[in-house]
Amino acid sequence: MALLESRLKSPDFLWGVSSSAYQIEGSVLADGRGESIWDSFCRLPGKVKNGDTGAYGSDSYVRWQEDVDMLHELGAGAYRFSIAWPRIKPDGSGAVNHRGFGYYHRLIEELLAKDIEPWVALYHWDLPQALQDRGGWLNRDTAFYFADYAELCFREFGGLVKNWVTLNEPWCSAFLGHGVGVHAPGLVDVQAPFTAAHHLLLAHGLAVKECRELLPAARIGIVLNPWTPRSATARDEDKQAALLASVERTGLWCDPLFNGQYPEAYCEAAGAKLPILPGDMALIKAPLDFLGINYYNEDAVCAAPAQAAGYKNVPTWQKKTEMQWDIVPDGLVRVLSFMSEHWKVPEYYITENGAAFSDSDTDGKVIHDNDRIEYLQDHVLAVQKACELGLPVKGYFVWTMLDNFEWSHGYEKRFGMVAIKQPEGERIRKSSFYFYRDLIAGY
Ligand code: GCO
């Protein structure tokens, strides 16, 4: 993509790929792994499309060598993956399962051997079920069990891993998992998302403290999925509505993380009771090295006084992905500008950006996913635009390399640059794989 300017071509701009344990590993019974809340959630009738589960994922627990070879073929500078807590501590808080470290050692050491930086997320939604049985994120103890688990990982892998992520998209865990119930543990409640949100942020703060003490040279951050819808019109009331709509996915997290306090007006309006104890907010506000931003799409909202929330989505003209998400590359520039206008973010990495498409155009050998290529191309240009505006974006990770388990959508929604041909599990590269390889190479 000759349009890329020097700053994205510079050797210190990081090109990567992201994934998560429950979505790609499979082998959910191997080597002493304990059950996670997603294993049990998948068994609930109607919760996951076609009754799919992560028992197979992308079979990466078995085929990790092939996957690292493909990352090397891409020329990726980094690979962001998550460690499954239930592999390391099967019941979340008790005995360590040392066999659970093996896969991650093999993966990390092979990545390093191929000059690919491992970026390790400690939590990507797969809470040990045994902790859920004791209240999960509604129980403050879980934050401390998370810190113990994080300490274990820092001690085990700290000599090899320099970049750590505490939590991936805590908003999904809190609101999709405890508010509307479409994610594990499947709770439907008004107050629970706020209790979970505080304990997730406390867990984050405790893990950052452990990291600073054990790995002073490492870098640590958190990955958020901000939603900053644009105003449907230039009218002030719609602009206000867009600001109001943004808080749940930005201020509710960034105010504590960067300012050590929750957004008062929003919490009051939501009737949120946050179980804050003395010292919590100082822990949560621990300085970060970077903020990971997962960006997929942008919506538009207008003022809607009759609605409880005070705003509503409006119809839009943009082309949509298989997830019915609007394709709005400039939305990526807007969300980064919004974040930097409101909080002192040291550095950004776009830790997820990608799209699900039907991937039906194939000649039997290669899948011609031109719509995904166009999506990626346009969003990389948006990253370039953000850099030109002086926003400190230091890297871009595609979501994702392998088609995998897309949570409540099961395997039906495919985000990968590589398809998996069943039943043998053969990896079939799509055109976007070759596009991203060329992009990283600087063409
Ligand atoms: C997320 C998660 C990923 C999803 C991806 C596509 O951002 O929701 O981190 O696990 O699979 O975003 O929805």
Per-residue pLDDT tens for 155-213? 999 999 999 999 999 999 999 999 999 999 999 999 999 999 999 999 999 999 999 99
Ligand 1 center to residue 326 CA distance, Å? 16
pLDDT of residue 4: 63
Mutate to test the pocket of ligand 1, among 49, 322, 323, 407 (most ligand atoms within 8 A of CB): 407
pLDDT of residue 10: 79
211-234 per-position pLDDT tens digit: 999 999 999 999 999 999 999 999
How far is the C-alpha of 153 from the C-alpha of 248, rounded, in Å? 30
Q: Tokens in use for 284?
A: 């949560």
pLDDT of residue 105: 98
C-alpha 362, offset from chain centre = 29
pLDDT of residue 6: 67
pLDDT of residue 9: 77
- The atom of ligand 1 lying closest to the CA of 399 is 5
Ligand 1 center to residue 78 CA distance, Å? 18
Ligand 1 neighbours by CB, cut-off 6 Å: 20, 23, 168-169, 172, 225, 294, 352, 399, 406, 415
pLDDT along the chain (443 residues), means of 10: 65 95 98 98 98 98 98 98 98 97 98 98 98 98 98 98 98 98 98 98 99 98 98 98 97 98 96 97 98 98 96 98 98 98 98 97 89 98 95 98 98 97 91 97 89
Burial of 374 (0-12, 13-18, 19+ CB in 10 A): middle
Q: Atom 5 in ligand 1: which residue has the minimum CA distance?
A: 399
C-alpha 250, offset from chain centre = 14
Position 144: which residue type? F
Q: Check: CB of residue 108 under 8 Å from CB of residue 161.
A: yes
Rg (CA), the chain: 21
How far is the C-alpha of 324 from the C-alpha of 305, rounded, in Å? 26
- The atom of ligand 1 lying closest to the CA of 406 is 11
pTM score of the predicted model: 0.98
Q: Check: CB of residue 114 under 8 Å from CB of residue 68.
A: yes
Ligand 1 center to residue 53 CA distance, Å? 16
CATH of 6-441, one of 3.30.830.10, 3.20.20.80, 3.90.1150.10, 1.10.10.60: 3.20.20.80
pLDDT of residue 365: 82
Q: Check: CB of residue 85 under 8 Å from CB of residue 36.
A: yes
Q: Atom 10 in ligand 1: which residue has the minimum CA distance?
A: 20
Q: Atom 13 in ligand 1: which residue has the minimum CA distance?
A: 406
Active site residues: 169, 352
Q: Atom 11 in ligand 1: which residue has the minimum CA distance?
A: 406
Ligand 1 center to residue 177 CA distance, Å? 14
- The atom of ligand 1 lying closest to the CA of 354 is 6
Mutate to test the pocket of ligand 1, among 294, 405, 417 (most ligand atoms within 8 A of CB): 294
- The atom of ligand 1 lying closest to the CA of 20 is 10
Ligand 1 center to residue 237 CA distance, Å? 32
Q: Check: CB of residue 226 under 8 Å from CB of residue 249.
A: yes
Q: Tokens in use for 400?
A: 């994702």
* Domain ranges (residues) in the chain: 6-441
Burial of 265 (0-12, 13-18, 19+ CB in 10 A): exposed
